[in-house]
Structure 1
Amino acid sequence: MRLLTLAFVLFFGTIYAQDDSSDSSDKFDKKLEKLSSQKGMITTYFGENSELFFEIPENLLNKDLLMVTRLRQLPANYSAYRNAGSKTSEQMIHFQKKGNRIDMIQVSTTNIADDDDPILISVQQNNFNPILASFKIEKEANNSFIIDVSKLYNDDSPSFNIIGERQKKEYKISGVDKSRSRIDEVKSFPKNTEIIHTLTYKVNKPPRGNSANTFTFQINHSIIELPEDLMPVRYTDPRVGWFSLKKYNYSSDKLKSDSYTIAKRWRLEPKDKKAYANGELVEPVKPIVYYLDPATPTKWIPYFIKGIEDWNKAFNKIGFKNAIIAKVAPTKEEDPDFSPEDVRYSTVRYVASTTRNAVGPSVADPRTGEIIESDIIWYHNHLRSYRNRYLLETGAANPKARTLDTPEEEIGEMMRRVISHEIGHALGLPHNMKASSAYPVDSLRSGKFTQKMGIAASIMDYARYNYVAQPGDENIRFIRKLGEYDMYTIDWGYRYFDGKTPEEIKAILKAMVDGKSMQKIYMFGGRNNDPDSQTENIGDDPIKASQYGLSNLKIVTQNLEEWTTPKGENYDELEELYGELLSVYRRYIYHVSSMIGGVHETLLNKGQDGTPYKVVSEEEQLQALAFLKENVWTTQNWLMPEELVSKFSSRGTLNRVVGINTSLLKRLLSTSKLNAMLNSNATLSGNGLNVMKLMKTLSKDIMAIKNPDLAERQLQAAFVNHLIDLSEDKNLAAEAKAYVAKHKKDLMKDLERKQKNNNDILSAHFLYLHEVLRKDAEQ
């Protein structure tokens, strides 16, 4: 079977026709001489006026190349889901010669068929390759063809997908302003060519803070030569998390095209296959090497190296020694040809930016899934996020966290684990949010357990800190580390099988997963509606874990000023930390709220003991509602002490806290959740909480509060108004609407009785709510 160059049209191609007039050869040569040239896979000629020519050697024609487009810099407040380093397109291309033109063809490896299968003809005919761009050959010499690609990179080619359709509509973005767009930099290397350019767009409805009515992006395009020697594929197993590529096999024996996925992996092969087969530790033919950015502060280099090489523990278990190596990048004096843009080198880049993030992208061969290179990006201000959360989530039980001058070794340990997480992505591992629920909550209070096992079964979860451990617990590990799931998934993805076909390897690995995947420490899961697959949580019981977390947070609140604000300093840091403290509170209560209407998901195959989808039991959901009654619906005065809030806010924070509560209420009574509960209770295994009982419980817990204070009255008003909104929602199921109608009617009676109150404020409050419902009933 071979991979075919078949169309998989993601974007409309644009043909860029060049001016047919031609200068004499001498004149053209003189023009090129004035441009800066770089030899490489594609020799480039680049001028200050955004002129760019490619010299395409004949032996590069019809070769498999990968073109990757990423955002290098982008406007502020543009999108929550795109940041520097985000990929906007990735497509395999060919340069093809057609007469006096070179066409850039988009090629697909998604659809395949056997060479001797007659269906091959139909697949080819029904998947025609689109032309992304077409260029006149300006000069032909020395078995190469020179083309002018200036317009391609000075304009907005649809194939680059720089601006998404949603952003175009939201901001009313017009076309590119060519007077403010340019090619910035071009570099060519033996295996890749890099083009960096700036595009400026006119914006008719800019986001807040953008007074220029302009979006300017800097974009990085990589054209990469793919390996001629194809790496054997590895078929994925949905019970083991792995980044993958989807394929369609039209020669399948099944009565349809057979879809399957292959894993994205580095090519890791032992130097001595015989020694490897005998169980000896063997170095790989080509280890995975990461070079550290020379801009990395010297004091953090050891932690970055440890974070990268921590994965050797997992590789050692499957027979590889020194499989992954970290090195400091050579200086210009040591190696003038070294460049982080060279696809032969993978790097960890340290970016001086206010962005609080780190990312771990990689580039993979779309034919086989082989990872070719990756660049981990660490943004400097990410340190601030970790410092703040370390104090807020562990300060009650962890004396080292009770300061904004966090000890260097503690910050270094955090950085080490963040880099390990991002390297995990670059190795092919997606997030595994189920790993944080593998350990019993009370085990997280054990020094012996946490020092050995960490705080979650995988570093690929968002389980950053141990917020469960209580004051007095000894020898606790507070920061995450690699877990048993990480060892297991590396075994699945990188164990070498000499002489085995992909189908034989698939059977061997399936047996391994069959034997382990039902154990909690080896489970994989995304978020979905599963309370065991949440972000930022730890432990197998969200209620107990959040109770411990809130207990600690109350201690932190009492000491926040002392731990953050030395004498003589202003209260800016205190205000920032308090804002993040509210976010921590929100996370803890949302962890519990996810149990309501939740569905436990277990990825398994027939024959394994278990049920893939099972609703959270009614008993557990009622316990979650009881937690919310105690810790959310009644005013949490500890969360906004006046002696603290008065230091930095003239308006107080009541509305912020009420906003958290009302948002949670609307989430619990959202149309999507109510409809999903009706459906899952009717069709899935388990005895869950029904919608009527949910509404009754919330109504009682919120509306029956005696002598409600201001925050509780605002919550009651939000409850009444939300019921009205639900009754008018066309998407709400009829069954749920019936429950809403009954609750509105019952509430009117109850509010009429409550109006007879000696307290004028409460009497007016209940009268107002009654009138809101009465007017709604009359419409």
Structure 2
Amino acid sequence: MKKIILFSLVTSLLFTSDLFSQSGRIKLKKKNKTEKKTETKAPKKSKTPKYSDFVKKSTKTDDGLFKVHENKDKFLYEIPNSYLGKEMLLVTRIKEIPANLGGGYVNAGSKINTQVIVWEKYKNKILLKVKSYNAIAEDNLPIYKSVKANNLEPVIYAFDVKSQNIDSTAVLVDVTKFFSTDVKAISGLPSYYRKNYKVRRLDASRSFISSIKSYPKNIEVIQDFTFDADAPPSNRNTNTISMRINQSMILLPEEPMMSRVYDKRVGYFTIGNVDYSSEALKADSKRYIRRWRLEPKDEAAYNRGELVEPIKPIVYYLDPATPEKLRKYIKQGVDDWQKVFETAGFKNAIMAKMPPTKEEDPEFSMEDIRYSSIRYVASTTRNATGPSVSDPRSGEILESDIIWYHNHLRSYRNRYLLETGAANPSARTLDTPDEEIGDMMRMVIAHEVGHALGLPHNMAASYAYPTDSLRSGDFTQKNGIAATIMDYARYNYVAQPGDKNIRFIRQLGPYDHYAINWGYRKIPNVTSPEQEVKTLDKWIEEKGNDPIYRFGGQRFDPSAQTEGIGNDQVKSSTYGVKNLKIVAKNLPNWTSNQTNNYEDLNELYGELLSVWGRYVGHVTGNIGGVYEFNKKPSQQGAIYVPVSKNVQKESLNWLLNNVFKTQNWLLDKNILNKIDETGYTEKLGRYQDRNLATLLNYRTLERMIEAEVIQDDFYPASDMISDLRIGIFSEARSTKNVDLQRRKLQKSFIKRLGSLMSDKAATSTDISSIVRGELTTLKYQLNTASKRAINKISKYHYKDLIVNINNILDPK
């Protein structure tokens, strides 16, 4: 019994203990669950990621204008707050291109777009905005608010702020997507290329950011882009355009350079804006010249008239790819401008150098905006260019990359032979002496440097020198063949066989000194562009009556035509054609007879036609031409002066004899039967048609008709067309047969008159009346001529022309 009680007691105790223990265990489990939750709960993450989440030990950082961080294929900009709102220039260039993009005239280094940008913070984003200086106003004037409201700056991209740096002085943004996708605002493939080449899309799988490098004043991004295109410019079977784009972001100067007011009497490239701060009764359109910022180291000495070095000279670095034998000529082409800048008071203002080696400066890069360059481009294009980048706020030129195409010297060799070979024995070869080739290259570079300094073409400068002076050795050695290197006056084609000591190649001239002095000389004691105008006007008016210092470039002005030399187009072209006839006769001996193939003969014959066409065009420009002499009211004389009647009639007679009469010397069978099976008369006919179209052009005839109002001695348009008709149809007044070339020309004449009859603008002027009268007269003349004793084809030809005239006079 005791055992049973004891057992029960023990059992009871155990049960109770277990029960208590279970109860305790339940409580313990609850407690443990609570503790477990506390132990396993993750700490709360900060809403804003840390700087260290993006910039790690493995991150590659390039310090410069902004810090650029690279994590594998991700790029971040660390933008200092102090640069938010600062104006920068974004320049989009083509760094490497497929063959034949843009027809061969777009090259590696070509600028596609330039725009002022600002980085601005908005809430938790950084906005990239494009800022325009087309419309401006002083920010302290009430109208400034209206200018801002009516010229809202477009946002081209919005970036999320990823984080801030440790001391919160800069923000991090990821620029990967911006630079790796097809953002139209910075595209290197403009819309007209996309349309021409039928571009469908950017292929993201074949496009990427090649590199981003940060320099003290700029950041350079290189993008490798591949587009799907149905009609690419080359490698058509790939349906692909691949190109390498360079995006330069440049910090603009904190204090813009003081601008200089543009004056169209002196040639400069310009920037412009509309100023709503003007006190005039309208918004004031203003233009300022583009130029480098040259400031004297010693301003007091400069103001005393001493030659002073600039604080920052203009330095060009030669492309390491430049052939060694050409480097000295390129350098000379730059350094030649040193004497010109001395006229403006600066010594050692401009120079060319070879770039430093990697050992001398491992950070040097031709893409760095701090360095200007002369690029040597491996391209079959025959050209050279002198582009530059300027501050749109002031016109200050910040950087320049002159481009030289490899094949360009071949053009100069060919033209040297064709234009000077008659009078210049050393040009009568395909192997032009190195020193002469070098001199040509030197002058091409000098011309392109002129563009990079802000100077446009000045086609009036070649008209400054008397034609016969170009046959003088003393004159040409001293003065060259035009008053500026900025004209297209490449060679002396006027000099004749037997003329002695002639300079045949262009050089810098007095206009270059004058223009650089006008644009770059620092005027003392002025604080605004407007205060300079009185002095600038004085400099122009001191030279106002001297043709050497005249600037011109209008297409209607025969004294400002491309490729011409001398102040008498008829005389200059007569000399030129006389020389060309000698060259044409000797062309096989100077080419194919030396090389034992006809490639050079074919090429040079085609270019000979072009040279002849240019000489012809200079004379054609006289007819209906109007001289333009830019002046201010303080100067005497008219601005627009039509070419005299005598010069126009002389020019037309020259054209009838040297162009519209069949030029058998250009149809030399000793050349033609070696280079092509057909197309001879077609080629010559194109040049005849071109000049015919210029004479029978609505604008030409309109100027001739209106000359009656401002000129007593004018050449009536009706007389010109009548004289042209009589000359072109001279066979119709005799029993002469009409040769093949003339038959083509006569058809073209009637076709051109038909175009004028259908021109709506011409129907409200005397032009349609004159044309109708001339066609009626010609119809009667051809009808009579077709009955004379002439060959069969001439008869058929006349009858065909009569039908053509009837269709024009009575289209029904």
Report the TM range for the smaller structure's normalisation.
over 0.9
SS of the aligned residue for 2:674 comes to coil
CA change 1:285–1:641 in 2 (3 A) is: same
What amino acid does structure 2 have at the position aligned with 1:69? T
SS of the aligned residue for 1:350 comes to strand
SS of the aligned residue for 1:605 comes to coil
Report how far residue 131 of structure 1 moved.
0.9
Q: Which residue of 2 aligns with 1:29?
A: 54
Do residues 611 (structure 1) and 635 (structure 2) align? no
What amino acid does structure 1 have at the position aligned with 2:801? L
In 2, Cα distance between the equivalents of 1:614 and 1:293?
Answer: 47
Greater mean alpha carbon deviation, residues 740-749 or residues 416-425: 740-749
Report how far residue 39 of structure 1 moved.
2.2
Do residues 710 (structure 1) and 732 (structure 2) align? no
In 2, Cα distance between the equivalents of 1:554 and 1:36?
Answer: 68
Report how far residue 739 of structure 1 moved.
1.6
Q: Which residue of 1 aligns with 2:680?
A: 653
Q: What is the 5 A alignment of 1:293-308?
A: 293-308=319-334
Greater mean alpha carbon deviation, residues 754-763 or residues 767-776: 767-776
Q: Which residue of 2 aligns with 1:755?
A: 786
CA change 1:69–1:442 in 2 (3 A) is: same
In 1, Cα distance between the equivalents of 2:179 and 2:709?
Answer: 53
What amino acid does structure 1 have at the position aligned with 2:752? H
Q: What is the 5 A alignment of 1:599-678?
A: 599-651=626-678, 653-678=680-705
Q: Which residue of 2 aligns with 1:69?
A: 92
Greater mean alpha carbon deviation, residues 559-568 or residues 619-628: 559-568
Match of 1:516 among 543, 563, 570: 543
Report how far residue 128 of structure 1 moved.
2.0
Does the aligned pair in 2 maintain the 1:616–1:686 contact within 8 Å?
A: no
In 2, Cα distance between the equivalents of 1:495 and 1:81?
Answer: 35
Does the aligned pair in 2 maintain the 1:671–1:732 contact within 8 Å?
A: yes
Unpaired stretches in structure 2, ≥5 consecutive residues: 1-46
CA change 1:357–1:187 in 2 (3 A) is: farther
Q: Which residue of 1 aligns with 2:66?
A: 42
In 1, Cα distance between the equivalents of 2:107 and 2:310?
Answer: 35
Greater mean alpha carbon deviation, residues 703-712 or residues 634-643: 703-712
Does the aligned pair in 1 maintain the 2:708–2:714 contact within 8 Å?
A: no
In 2, Cα distance between the equivalents of 1:276 and 1:627?
Answer: 54
In 2, Cα distance between the equivalents of 1:690 and 1:28?
Answer: 82
In 2, Cα distance between the equivalents of 1:47 and 1:552?
Answer: 68
Q: What is the 5 A alignment of 1:428-467?
A: 428-467=454-493
In 1, Cα distance between the equivalents of 2:179 and 2:699?
Answer: 44
Q: Over alpha carbons, which structure has the higher Rg?
A: 2
Match of 2:219 among 187, 193, 206: 193
In 2, Cα distance between the equivalents of 1:497 and 1:728?
Answer: 57
Match of 1:120 among 130, 134, 144: 144
In 1, Cα distance between the equivalents of 2:647 and 2:294?
Answer: 46
SS of the aligned residue for 1:433 comes to coil
Report how far residue 419 of structure 1 moved.
0.8
SS of the aligned residue for 1:554 comes to helix
SS of the aligned residue for 1:645 comes to helix
Do residues 476 (structure 1) and 499 (structure 2) align? no
Do residues 767 (structure 1) and 799 (structure 2) align? yes
Unpaired stretches in structure 1, ≥5 consecutive residues: 1-21
What amino acid does structure 2 have at the position aligned with 1:622? K
Report how far residue 642 of structure 1 moved.
0.4
Give RMSD over aligned pairs.
2.4
What amino acid does structure 2 have at the position aligned with 1:190? P
Report how far residue 320 of structure 1 moved.
1.4
Q: Which residue of 2 aligns with 1:8?
A: none
Match of 2:133 among 109, 115, 118: 109
Does the aligned pair in 1 maintain the 2:554–2:628 contact within 8 Å?
A: no
Superposition TM-score, scaled by structure 1 size? 0.92
CA change 1:212–1:239 in 2 (3 A) is: same
Report how far residue 202 of structure 1 moved.
4.4
Q: Which residue of 2 aligns with 1:739?
A: 770
CA change 1:518–1:208 in 2 (3 A) is: farther
Q: Which residue of 2 aligns with 1:19?
A: none
Higher helix share: 2
Superposition TM-score, scaled by structure 2 size? 0.89
Q: Which residue of 2 aligns with 1:315?
A: 341
Q: Which residue of 2 aligns with 1:353?
A: 379
CA change 1:565–1:79 in 2 (3 A) is: closer
Q: Which residue of 1 aligns with 2:750?
A: 720
CA change 1:310–1:581 in 2 (3 A) is: same
Greater mean alpha carbon deviation, residues 187-196 or residues 156-165: 156-165
Report how far residue 596 of structure 1 moved.
1.2
What amino acid does structure 1 have at the position aligned with 2:54? D
SS of the aligned residue for 1:577 comes to helix
CA change 1:177–1:740 in 2 (3 A) is: farther
Q: Which residue of 2 aligns with 1:12?
A: none
Does the aligned pair in 2 maintain the 1:291–1:348 contact within 8 Å?
A: yes
String of CA shifts for 1:219-266, please: whole Å, max 9, x gaps: 221100111133222112111111111122222221112221112111
What amino acid does structure 2 have at the position aligned with 1:124? K
Does the aligned pair in 1 maintain the 2:492–2:503 contact within 8 Å?
A: yes
Does the aligned pair in 2 maintain the 1:645–1:652 contact within 8 Å?
A: no
Report how far residue 326 of structure 1 moved.
1.5
Report how far residue 670 of structure 1 moved.
2.4
How many residues get paired?
A: 756
Greater mean alpha carbon deviation, residues 396-405 or residues 227-236: 227-236
Does the aligned pair in 2 maintain the 1:518–1:604 contact within 8 Å?
A: no
String of CA shifts for 1:137-192, please: whole Å, max 9, x gaps: 22322432222223333333332364555555555544434344333333221111
Q: Which residue of 1 aligns with 2:759?
A: 729
Report how far residue 485 of structure 1 moved.
0.5
Greater mean alpha carbon deviation, residues 381-390 or residues 567-576: 567-576
Greater mean alpha carbon deviation, residues 106-115 or residues 196-205: 196-205
Q: Which residue of 1 aligns with 2:263?
A: 237
